[in-house]
């Protein structure tokens, strides 16, 4: 039985001309033609208003729920007073709670909650909110263990409530373009994807990047006295986190384009130079993780290949992908070295102008502006609100979210077994 959401277009040998490619890559965005793929057009007028709560004043202050004409933020919370103040100012919300637990107990005017707490708390906080009767959107990853994945599937199906993961790669413009190309059959058979997330953290763990001067706590991630982030006294949840515990910025470019599922994974991890191996964060952390960077080869349920990387120590940056088909290929820009490039059979390689999708009617007028994480923040905000107003599942629903998250969890297990290929359990919607 197929586990994919979308039917793979059949390769009928037809070639996509340069002219027709430019027509559909631009005009489809302008008209909102491929709605579920490109981000969801603004729905028809409605008198409904969604009442949102926001948890977490770090990344949680970077979204745009309050700009949607049919959404208002009616409660905010963070354990830190300074971040509570940031949320209050950002969303112009005077209902401020000292903790999520207090908000759950006292708030009576919330329909859905945006959860931007630490990664190990996402699954727990989503469960708490759904048990309260609230829909939920959370930062990525959706969970950090297979047990949490099973729990979330159970609670979602028990309550019938909706969940979305705020995965930025899904709504970066090049990914929207790739999704439209895939739906139009421009790739032919998209048989190989390279997806990667590179985020060098050397300066956060070493004084000015000097490997001879390890910092006791990661400079940027240490939050003394912040109980929500603590698993051991004084440690942020990011202390020692495995790269493959954070795979969604990479896998969003595969699952979010083709809808395929990862069936098997083989992953290797790099423990670092002698100095890096001795850093306290690799020798003692809650994840039992010795790796700084990890590279994997994955096999999809359609028999296609994916090279998925997540590096914490490297001289590279950003989230990007390359999609290879027998008829077409698309390259994302590479850290400013070159722009996006596509190659269509018979036409040769040529730069491609990626549409500025946020300027289109895929968004309410108030939200048509540039935003954080590659322009994705406005799309994530609009999609979650629109899905609830329309009483449908968000584009990155729980099942898509787990398909982007679980392969990384298994990849970490593979790394600890020297790259042994492991099967990836599937957490699919009933009847799939």
Q: Look at residue 132 and tell me if it is in a domain.
A: no
Residue 22: is its pLDDT beyond 90? no
Q: Look at residue 91 and tell me if it is in a domain.
A: no
3-state SS string over the chain?
CCCCCCCCCCCCCCCCCHHHHHHHHHHHHHHCCCHHHHCCCCCCCCCCCEEEEEECCCHHHHCCHHHCCCEEEEEEECCCHHHHHHHHHHHCCCCEECCHHHHHHHCCCCCEEEECCCHHHHHHHHHHHHHCCCEEEECCCCCCCHHHHHHHHHHHHHHCCCEEECCCHHHCHHHHHHHHHHHHCCCCCEEEEEEEEEECCHHHHEHHHCCCCECCCCCCCCCCCCHHHCCCCCCCCCCCCCHHHCCHHHHHHHHHHHCCCEEEEEEEEECCCHHHHCCHHHHCCCCCCCCCEEEEEEEECCCCEEEEEEECCCCCEEEEEEEEECCEEEECCCCCCCCCEEEECCCEEEECCCCCHHHCCCCCHHHCCCCHHHHHHHHHHHHHHHHHHCCCCCCCCHHHHHHHHHHHHHHHHHHCCCCCCEECCCCCCCCC
* Contact indicator for 178, 331 with CB cutoff of 8 Å: no
Residue 30: is its pLDDT beyond 70? no
- Mean pLDDT to the nearest integer, 315-331: 91
24: pLDDT confidence band, cut at 50, 70 and 90? very low
362: pLDDT confidence band, cut at 50, 70 and 90? confident
| Closest alpha carbon to 411 in 196, 197, 240, 247 | 247
- For residue range 266-275, what is the model confidence (pLDDT) as tens digits? 999 999 999 9
| Closest alpha carbon to 108 in 63, 183, 53 | 53
Residue of 236 and 107 predicted with greater confidence = 107
Res 230: pLDDT:
41
In the chain, the percentage of residues whose pLDDT exceeds 90 is: 60
Res 339: pLDDT:
65
Q: Look at residue 36 and tell me if it is in a domain.
A: no
Q: Look at residue 58 and tell me if it is in a domain.
A: no
What's the domain range around 275?
170-360+398-423
Sequence length of the chain is: 432
Residue for token pair 């709670």: 97
**Cα–Cα distance, 185 to 10 (Å, whole number):** 8
401: pLDDT confidence band, cut at 50, 70 and 90? very high
The enclosing domain of 402 has a CATH number of: 3.30.360.10
Q: Look at residue 268 and tell me if it is in a domain.
A: yes
Q: Look at residue 386 and tell me if it is in a domain.
A: no
Q: Look at residue 276 and tell me if it is in a domain.
A: yes
Residue 35: is its pLDDT beyond 60? no
- For residue range 84-137, what is the model confidence (pLDDT) as tens digits? 999 999 999 999 999 999 999 999 999 999 999 988 899 999 999 999 999 999
Number of domains in the chain: 1
Residue 244: is its pLDDT beyond 70? yes
* Contact indicator for 321, 194 with CB cutoff of 8 Å: yes
Q: Look at residue 37 and tell me if it is in a domain.
A: no
Res 373: pLDDT:
83
**Cα–Cα distance, 258 to 179 (Å, whole number):** 7
């Amino acid at each position: 039985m197929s586990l994919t959401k979308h039917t793979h277009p059949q390769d009928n040998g037809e070639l996509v001309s340069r002219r027709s490619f430019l027509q559909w890559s631009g005009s489809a965005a302008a008209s909102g033609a491929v709605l579920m793929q490109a981000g969801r057009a603004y729905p028809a007028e409605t008198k409904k208003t969604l009442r949102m709560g926001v948890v977490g004043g770090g990344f949680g202050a970077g979204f745009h729920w309050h700009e949607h004409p049919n959404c208002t933020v009616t409660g905010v919370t963070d354990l830190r007073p300074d971040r509570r103040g940031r949320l209050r100012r950002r969303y112009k919300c005077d209902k401020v709670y000292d903790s999520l637990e207090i908000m759950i107990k006292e708030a009576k005017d919330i329909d859905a909650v945006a959860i931007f707490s630490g990664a190990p708390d996402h699954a727990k906080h989503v469960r708490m909110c759904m048990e309260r009767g609230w829909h939920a959107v959370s930062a990525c990853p959706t969970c950090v263990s297979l047990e949490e994945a099973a729990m979330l599937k159970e609670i979602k199906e028990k309550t019938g409530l909706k969940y979305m993961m705020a995965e930025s790669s899904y709504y970066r413009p090049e990914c929207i373009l790739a999704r439209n190309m895939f739906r139009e059959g421009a790739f032919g058979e998209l048989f190989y994807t390279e997806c990667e997330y590179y985020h060098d953290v050397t300066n956060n763990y070493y004084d000015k990047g000097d490997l001879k001067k390890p910092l006791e706590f990661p400079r940027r991630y240490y939050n003394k006295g912040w109980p929500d982030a603590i698993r051991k006294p004084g440690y942020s949840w990011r202390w020692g986190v495995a790269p493959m515990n954070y795979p969604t910025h990479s896998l969003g470019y595969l699952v979010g384009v083709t809808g395929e599922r990862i069936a098997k994974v083989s992953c290797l991890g790099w423990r670092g130079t002698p100095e890096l191996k001795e850093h306290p964060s690799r020798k003692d952390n809650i994840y039992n993780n010795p790796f700084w960077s990890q590279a994997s080869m994955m096999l999809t349920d359609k028999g296609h290949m994916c090279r998925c990387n997540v590096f914490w120590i490297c001289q590279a940056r950003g989230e990007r992908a390359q999609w290879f088909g027998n008829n077409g290929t698309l390259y994302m820009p590479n850290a400013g070295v070159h722009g996006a490039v596509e190659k269509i059979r018979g036409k040769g390689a040529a730069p491609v102008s990626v549409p500025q999708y946020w300027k289109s009617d895929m968004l309410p007028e108030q939200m048509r502006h540039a935003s954080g994480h590659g322009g994705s923040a406005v799309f994530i905000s609009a999609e979650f609100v629109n899905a609830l107003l329309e009483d449908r599942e968000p584009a990155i629903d729980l099942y898509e979210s787990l398909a982007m998250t679980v392969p990384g969890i298994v990849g970490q297990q593979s790394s600890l077994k020297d790259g042994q290929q492991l099967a990836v359990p599937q957490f699919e919607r009933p009847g799939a």
